[in-house]
Structure 1
């Protein structure tokens, strides 16, 4: 598991270097990848995703657009290390009304629980002016800005057959990962992990799944 997390870290680090060169957020870039359709077929090419509208586009000789209703899942490949990011279409009521097919990125999963997220571009109001290329930090692991905007995430835990949105409150993290409060608390202190950062949440959830095995 540690090797998997380390590999993921290098993969995401490589991706941010590519993004910094292009001065674009991940959803604004064409990635090599595959789209798996509900009818069992697979299409491959350059892929661009739009989580706000639950759309994924495929560029080959033309550009085709698919909705989350047509897609089972899709995957995109990191350009340098060949690492994979996976997105699944799952029923969810984003606005608290009716459940509709919605794209979620899977960060880590085990037999009992999975951590998913949905990224979005938000207006930055924190006055962060330091930069690394186009970003303040790796956009997948910490704060980041570009031209007054930042990459932000909503997090979800998939457990007991349903999705639950995580509030980013520390007490709710222990509620989402029950039964090992002392072990998780010690693990977070030992590794200086926060309850509301993408990379830290990935490590905490992977550790929880290890405890369950």
Structure 2
């Protein structure tokens, strides 16, 4: 899987650029069918059109009919996202969502090395924005500003390290705790390339660079 991830980094970077304009799209990536492949837990391989649902940890295959798989009976699946031009890889991994016990759920693998992997789970978030001081309500201050409610694509990020999946809280200090051992090199790399610690494409580049340092 490591070699596959390295080959996909460039196409994933292009995909991230497309994500920036997702609010202008009619549908989100999880709402459309993509060409792809499903590898089930018994070693069978299915090719066809794929739609995924990370909230409920389901993936559907449309070929002659529609088959629904859960994260419990799928090892991994991959899709080609034609909208954003990238191959995306998803794996079923055990994780505790509520703190009680671990169950298989789907994670997208963004990049992976010998010591650490960057994972994520996307979701559709509500996006409320002000559209004026008082709008059609005139000068009555009790109404307050009008807002336009829409939706945006959002992500939760995770690091797989030391055999554990740990959620990343988007704090720079914690990023350096995960990517430890090369603080000076990592800081210089982020400054030179103007990379942020809480952006999807930047996190991919940062983690990929860290894995390269650990190969030397």
Give your verdict on TM over 0.5: yes
Alpha carbons of structure 1 residues 119 and 172: separation in structure 2 relative to 1, 3 Å: same
Give the drift of 1:9.
2.2
Aligned length: 196
- Once the 2 structures are TM-superposed, how far is the Cα of residue 14 of structure 1 from its aligned partner? 5.8
Q: 1:43 to 1:21 in 2, by over 3 A?
A: farther
Counterpart for residue 137 of structure 1: none
Contact 2:129 2:149 (C-alpha < 8 Å) held by counterparts = no
Q: Which of the two has higher C-alpha Rg?
A: 2
How much has 1:10 moved relative to structure 2?
Answer: 2.6
SS of structure 2 residue aligned to 1:187: helix
Distance 2:52 2:177 in 1: 32
Q: Is the 8 A contact 1:104 1:116 kept in 2?
A: yes
**SS in structure 2 of the partner of residue 204 of structure 1:** helix
Is the alpha carbon distance of 1:183 and 1:33 closer, same or farther for their aligned partners in structure 2, counting shifts above 3 Å? same
The match for 2:12 is 8
Q: CA RMSD of the aligned region, Å?
A: 2.6
The aligned residue for residue 152 of structure 1 is: 154
| Counterpart residue number, 1:175 | 177
The answer to whether the 8 A contact 1:15-1:80 is kept is no
Pair 36,127 (structure 1): closer, same or farther in 2 beyond 3 Å: farther
1:83 alignment partner in structure 2: 86
Change (3 A) 1:32 1:9: same
- Given the two structures, how large is their TM-score scaled by the length of structure 1? 0.83
Instruction: Note the alpha carbon deviations across 1:115-149, whole angstroms, 9 max, x for none.
Output: 00000001113559xxxxxxxxxxxxxxxxx9611
Describe how 1:26-175 pairs up with structure 2 within 5 A: 26-79=29-82, 83-127=86-130, 148-175=150-177
Distance 1:81 1:172, change over 3 A: closer
Q: Secondary structure at the match of 1:40?
A: coil
Uncovered stretches (5+) of structure 2, i.e. residues with no partner? 132-147
Alignment gaps of 5+ in structure 1: 129-145
